[in-house]
Amino acid sequence: MRRPLLCVLLLVALMGCGKSASVARGELAQMNIVYSDAAFLEQARQGNAESVKLFLEAGINPETSSNEGQTALMGAALSDHLETVKVLIQKGANINAANKFGGTALMNATWKGNDEVVRFLLSKGAKHDLKDNRGMTALMFAAWDNRTESLKALLEGGANPEARDSNDWTALMRAAFKGHSDSVLSLLEKGANVNARTSSGDSALTIAADASGVETVGILLEHGADISSQDGSGQTALCKASAKGNTEVVRALLAKGADSSTKDSNGKTAMDLAQDQHHSEIIKILKDAATH
């Protein structure tokens, strides 16, 4: 009785090991899919999980990549194909592999806002603080493109909000520049330093004021942003907004007590900068503020 039982168990075990390479290649041929690196990468990009599995069973290297170093996992993550991502990870794909630009599968998924893929990759050990060739982390991609759910998942997973890119910007600064108030708020609620400054002296507030992000300016001020902070050229947020003609930002800053008499390194006030650029409405607002 033991021998038949052992045979059955052996058969079950062999069946669980998947198809032989030759059988898998035969099935790919029946599907009119050529067994090649390019076809494997394309099937992953399209999210054809079954054919990707066949490629892997046929013996293809899961780290096969394009000329730019894009692996099948990166392609599947970029295109939001969770099941294909799962197959590749299960078959040993390197979750933290980087392409020639330093980008990873996690960065790809975050950039596109593929939230479920982001969560899955994090749960499988994807490193969230790796940087690409520009110094960008996955969190910075989320902040830049306002991928709020992915951003929250990264923060909950321990991503560092104080990491700096090659421009010395943090994720908060990137979100502030784009006026992504939701991302700004999420970062601040998770402890991002509202008064962090770049090597040139810019803060998230001066960046937001320069970019005309009035809602973002308000959120930053509510969370303790230093309204008097000056960049390397001595300009405050009010100076920057006045020079750029960002009328509503000027109003918001004045309402919060911004000092219009502060001079930059060239000795110019917000009024001088507004006059230089002929921003008539801001000139009037600043004059009215000075008389009250």
Determine the average pLDDT of the residues in 129-138.
Answer: 98
Say whether pLDDT at 278 is over 80. Answer: yes
- Of 204 and 17, the structure prediction assigns the larger pLDDT to 204
Determine the average pLDDT of the residues in 44-61.
Answer: 98
Predicted confidence band of residue 18 (pLDDT cuts 50, 70, 90): low
Predicted confidence band of residue 15 (pLDDT cuts 50, 70, 90): very low
The three-state secondary structure class of 241 is: helix
- pLDDT at 292 (0 to 100): 74
Q: Please name every residue paired with 65 in a beta bridge, in sequence order, or none if there are none.
A: 71
- pLDDT at 212 (0 to 100): 84
Predicted confidence band of residue 3 (pLDDT cuts 50, 70, 90): low
| Homologous superfamily in CATH for domain 194-292 | Ankyrin repeat-containing domain (1.25.40.20)
Determine the average pLDDT of the residues in 123-138.
Answer: 98
Say whether pLDDT at 101 is over 80. Answer: yes
Q: Please name every residue paired with 71 in a beta bridge, in sequence order, or none if there are none.
A: 65
Say whether pLDDT at 157 is over 60. Answer: yes
Question: Is the CB of residue 41 less than 8 Å from the CB of residue 70?
Answer: yes
- pLDDT at 19 (0 to 100): 74
CA distance 112 to 104: 13
Say whether pLDDT at 202 is over 60. Answer: yes
Q: Which two tokens stand for residue 131?
A: 């940087």
- Alpha-carbon 283 to chain mean position: 38
**167-171, long-range: CB within 8 Å, 24+ apart, which pairs?**
167/135, 167/198, 168/198, 168/199, 168/200, 169/140, 169/198, 170/140, 170/196, 170/204, 171/137, 171/139, 171/140, 171/142, 171/143
- Of 28 and 9, the structure prediction assigns the larger pLDDT to 28
Determine the average pLDDT of the residues in 7-30.
Answer: 68
> What are the start and end residues of each CATH 1.25.40.20 domain in the chain?
19-127, 194-292
CA distance 252 to 281: 14
φ/ψ (deg, to 5) at 197: -130, 150
Predicted confidence band of residue 191 (pLDDT cuts 50, 70, 90): very high
Say whether pLDDT at 2 is over 60. Answer: no
| Homologous superfamily in CATH for domain 19-127 | Ankyrin repeat-containing domain (1.25.40.20)
What is the reported pTM? 0.91
Determine the average pLDDT of the residues in 85-106.
Answer: 98
> For 13-27, 49-63, 80-94, 201-215, which range has the lowest pLDDT when averaged over its residues?
13-27
Determine the average pLDDT of the residues in 154-159.
Answer: 97
- pLDDT at 73 (0 to 100): 99
CA distance 108 to 59: 26
Average pLDDT, the chain: 94
Determine the average pLDDT of the residues in 40-68.
Answer: 98
CA distance 96 to 184: 27
CA distance 198 to 159: 20
Say whether pLDDT at 13 is over 90. Answer: no
Percent of the chain with pLDDT over 90: 91
- pLDDT at 5 (0 to 100): 43
